[in-house]
Amino acid sequence: MLHTLTRQVRYALCLLLFALNLVATQGYAALPASVDGEPLPTLAPMLERVTPAVVNIATVGHVRLQLNPLFNDPFFRRFFDLPDTPRQRRTQSLGSGVIVDAAQGYVLTNHHVIQNADEIRVQLHDGRTFTAELIGTDPETDVAVIRIPAENLTALRPADSDRLRVGDFVVAIGNPFGLGQTVTSGMVSALGRSGLGIEGYEDFIQTDASINPGNSGGALVNLRGELVGINTAIIGPSGGNVGIGFAIPANMARAVMQQLVEHGRVERGRLGVSVQDLTPELARAFDLSRRQGTVVADVSEGSPADRAGLEVGDIILMVNGRPVGDSADVRNHIGLLRVGDSVRLTVLRDGRKLELTARIEAAQSSRADGGRFHPRLEGARLREITGDISRPGRRRGILVEEVTPGSPAARAGLQAGDVIVSVNRQPVNDLAGLREAAHSNGKGLLLNLQRGRGAMFLLLR
């Protein structure tokens, strides 16, 4: 009897599925506008208000091609009669943006959308097109601000992204694959994502709303139509959406935007501390029962952290009243503060909680032209490697950011991406150390370099 009943139930279910499929094939126009007097749920009214604030961005630019090092040799170039003008390649980019100030015409987007752009064209929802002015850009957070000379604009109202919760419904709006404005929906999958290696400051909102190439710079909004994030990146083996997308929180984007509008760049301050994650092993070594927080690994002498009383081995629990989960949290909190701001640190030391206050100072210059240190380094753009060196992949030394073709540094064999570890057998960790080591031997420079995964010596006479 049970077997027969089961067979009957299966037959009824098959008939029901067939009926539903038949209704679906006849089109959604047959669906009622309401059920039992209640209207069907829809996001259409909210989207009608929001979508005019999301724009399409197209850029045209040029990038210098990376040539074989032989092309930097003057003899080689003369022998083969090669032109001195460095080769360039024309680039095009498609992305999205969000109008955040209708009166001023300010549009938030990603740095990588407008990077290397000679011309930025913005198309509004109503079809109008404008050439945009670049106000400022910050590669560290992948945020950029542009301005369009337009009237009758619609701006998105920002939400407090710190109040987002996993499970909140969100909608992504952008221009995927250049198809035109497209809307996808999903929910917040995770918060505070970092350590992805996408940008320098990472505090991403993760969502399963479909984000694809071209969505970058577009809006992530809540169901009230408020801006909660700027769509930025995806993880996908084929470059397409697999349900893992990332957005910059609106609070971070707004903080960066304020500085870009005021100064054209972000003026980050200095606390003078290196931190590392509190792993289970470190927690046991420090005899801690908790695993939340970050360990102070180094405090620079005379820095704001030093004057505030921070010590190596302290566990930072909170920054300005906000709990710290790992070293990325500290980096994000401090990196968005301005010079002169006070920062309140809650630390754990020998089992006791302490409240320390420091004032953020202007960061010392960490970039310089190599010619300032030695004639053979002329044409090399150098930068100190800063941050938490205890993290995997971090190195001490001086990074060669760029080498001008045909310059003394290029002819000597230096390449962009090289890391200068020592000069004349003296370790160098900063530009001051490089200057001292470069003048210790009047005959030339003996550089110990890390190049890729290997190491080598380079003698500059």
Name the nearest CA neighbour of 308 among 350, 344, 277, 339: 344
**Candidates 93, 138, 142, 210; catalytic one:** 142
Q: How far apart are CA 164 and CA 380, in angstroms?
A: 45
Q: How far apart are CA 15 and CA 195, in angstroms?
A: 51
Angstrom CA distances, 239 to 211, 212, 214, 245, stand at: 10, 8, 11, 11
Bridge partners for 433 per DSSP: none
Q: How far apart are CA 266 and CA 140, in angstroms?
A: 9
Show Cβ contacts of residue 14 under 8 Å, excluding neighbours closer than 6 positions: none
**Candidates 93, 96, 111, 112; catalytic one:** 112
Bridge partners for 129 per DSSP: 123
- Collapsing DSSP states into helix, strand and coil, what is residue 43? coil
11 CA to centre of own chain: 55
The token duo for 113 is 């959308």
Helix residue spans in 312-366 (DSSP H): 327-335
112 belongs to the catalytic site? yes
111 belongs to the catalytic site? no
Amino acid identity of residue 143, one-letter, is: V
Contact 367, 423 (CB under 8 A): no
Name the nearest CA neighbour of 288 among 349, 377, 197: 349
Q: Across 307-363, where does the E strand assignment appear?
A: 315-319, 322-323, 342-349, 352-359, 361-362
> Is the torsion defined by CA of 345, 348, 349, 355 positive or negative?
positive
DSSP 166: T
229 CA to centre of own chain: 13
> HSE on the CB side for 320, CA within 13 Å?
14
Q: How many CB atoms lie within 10 A of CB 205?
A: 28
Q: How far apart are CA 459 and CA 240, in angstroms?
A: 46
Q: How far apart are CA 314 and CA 295, in angstroms?
A: 6
Entry field: residues in the chain: 461
Q: How far apart are CA 4 and CA 2, in angstroms?
A: 5
**Candidates 93, 194, 216, 274; catalytic one:** 216
The C-alpha R_g of the chain, in whole angstroms, comes to: 28
333 belongs to the catalytic site? no
> Is the torsion defined by CA of 189, 190, 191, 193 positive or negative?
negative
428-457 residues labelled b (16+ CB within 10 A) or e (exposed): bbbbebbeebbeeeeeebbbbbbeeeeeee
- What residues act catalytically? 112, 142, 216
